[in-house]
Amino acid sequence: MRRKPEVGIVMGSDSDWPMLKDSATFLDTFGVCYEVKVISAHRTPALASNYARTALGRGLKVIIAAAGGAAHLGGVLAAHTTLPVIGVPVKGGALNGIDALLAIVQMPAGIPVATVTLGSAGPVNAAVLAIQMLAIAQPGLMKKLAKYKKTLEDKVASGNSKVQADLNKKRS
């Protein structure tokens, strides 16, 4: 039996997919089922509204929304659902994504969109945040997340050891 998606990955344009594959890959690593859609807040507003309105009933628990430029997708989806929406600003255009970042951050009261960073860390952080939200009610997922965080800690400790060893060589 196929599991229902818990996370929706939505992008304003198919050109955003190469970046958002990192969200999908990260969710795969944790065994989180997701769906992927291209929906434009401006070119397909009825589709965006319908997607958000039906998301909860379809079993989604979190929506990741990526867009560049005016970046209204996350806000439009958030306006039509009670689910948490995570906005991923897409680099590009004259302002190199700063416009998208500001558009996602500047939401009116009552319509929050959690926002992650510009660049390659954004899609990964969006997936991590989605997993953290899901893990609140899923102890197995919480254990996987704790193990992942430990690998990050170990990587930093290893890097520190290398730097300290290099310094000690130079001082000897």
Using alpha carbons, list the distances in angstroms from residue 54 to 8, 22, 51, 63, 151: 11, 25, 5, 12, 37
Rounded CA-CA distance 75/85 in Å is 8
Shared domain check, 166 and 125 = no
Asked whether the beta carbons of 82 and 36 are under 8 A apart, the reply is no
pLDDT digits (tens, 9 = 90+) for 60-73: 999 999 999 889 99
Specify which residues 87 forms β-bridges with.
Answer: 65, 115
One domain for residues 148 and 126: no
pLDDT value, residue 61 = 99
Check whether residue 48 and residue 124 sit in a common domain: yes
- 171 and 104 in one domain? no
Same domain, residue pair 154 and 128: no
In this structure, the answer to whether residues 91 and 155 fall within a common structural domain is no
> Do 131 and 161 lie in a common domain?
no
Taking the C-alpha atoms of residue 35 and residue 171, their distance in angstroms, rounded to an integer, is 54
Co-location of 20 and 54 in the same domain? yes
Give pLDDT tens digits for 105-150.
Answer: 999 999 999 999 999 999 999 999 999 999 999 999 999 999 999 9
Q: Rounded distance, CA 93 to CA 99, Å?
A: 9
- What is the longest distance spanned by two Cα atoms in the chain? 69
Please check whether residues 148 and 116 belong to one and the same domain.
no
Q: What domain range includes position 99?
A: 7-137
The answer to which of 8-12, 91-95, 161-165 has the lowest mean pLDDT is 91-95
Residue 53 counted as domain residue: yes
The answer as to whether 2 is a domain residue is no
3-state secondary structure at position 158 = helix
Domain tally for the chain? Answer: 2
